[in-house]
Amino acid sequence: MTDALKVIPEENSVQSGVRNVEGVAEGLADILADTYRLLFKTHAYHWNVEGPLFYSVHNLTEEQYENMFKAADEIAERIRALGKMAPMKISDIVENSVITDMDELPSAGKMCEDLAENHEKIAHRLHALVELAGERNDPVTEDLATERSAFHEKAAWMLKAIAKQ
């Protein structure tokens, strides 16, 4: 193995003016965990949804999981840009997420309601991250969190609209 393949990733000191980088990076890591958990759940519902609203739910969830997949990369890269390590263990993703699994196999309507609730949970966490990033002089994370919150709020609205009876 060449020396180039022996490099082990590590945290770096990045001097960009952000105060207390650790707290911001932890907040981003939590959002990344939530994003991955909800991405998987959304994809699983996409695969398994059935019924008269199949086409609508199938297509909407595809748009949403594709968005979250791209967002996960942006969030992880922001953590690295702050000089910290992005999560590398699935156990960290599970432990740091507020997203949980349903115990029973849900109907199409319950899938939409469950996903909507999960999007709202992430939006709440993102609002807190916006505030924290502002206090820590981190407008880049503040903008990223604002953009992600807008996505999750819209996703929740759309899923709720489908689930109405």
Task: Find out whether 14 and 82 touch, Cβ atoms under 8 Å.
Answer: yes
- Write down the pLDDT at residue 9: 67
133 in a domain, yes or no?
yes
- Burial profile 42-65: b = 16 or more Cβ within 10 angstroms, e = fewer: bbebbeebeeebeeebbebbeebb
Choice among 19-23, 124-128, 147-151 with the minimum mean pLDDT = 19-23
Confidence band for 151, pLDDT divided at 50, 70 and 90: very high
CB atoms within 10 A of CB 16: 11
Confidence band for 121, pLDDT divided at 50, 70 and 90: very high
61 in a domain, yes or no?
yes
Q: DSSP H helical segments within the chain, as ranges?
A: 21-48, 54-81, 90-95, 108-135, 139-163
Which DSSP symbol is given to 138? -
- Judged on CB neighbours under 10 Å (0-12, 13-18, 19+), 108 is buried
Q: How many domains does the chain have?
A: 1
27 in a domain, yes or no?
yes
Q: What is the mean pLDDT of residues 111-122?
A: 98
Give the CATH number for residue 36: 1.20.1260.10
17 vs 105 pLDDT, higher one: 105
- Write down the pLDDT at residue 1: 65
11 in a domain, yes or no?
no
Length of the chain: 165
CA 125 to chain centre: 10
31 in a domain, yes or no?
yes
13 in a domain, yes or no?
no
For residue 27, what are the CA distances in angstroms to 24, 38, 87, 142?
A: 5, 17, 12, 11
115 in a domain, yes or no?
yes
- Write down the pLDDT at residue 88: 93
Enter the pTM of the model.
Answer: 0.92
Tokens of 14: 């990045």
Residue type, 38: L
- Write down the pLDDT at residue 20: 85
- Write down the pLDDT at residue 11: 63
4 in a domain, yes or no?
no
Domain, as residue range, for 56: 19-97+106-163
pLDDT tens for 66-92 read 999 999 999 999 999 999 999 999 999
pLDDT tens for 44-54 read 999 999 999 99
- Write down the pLDDT at residue 145: 98
- Write down the pLDDT at residue 149: 98
- Write down the pLDDT at residue 10: 58
Query: Measured between alpha carbons, how far is 6 from 156 in angstroms, rounded to an integer?
Result: 44
Choice among 17-26, 100-109, 125-134, 140-149 with the minimum mean pLDDT = 17-26
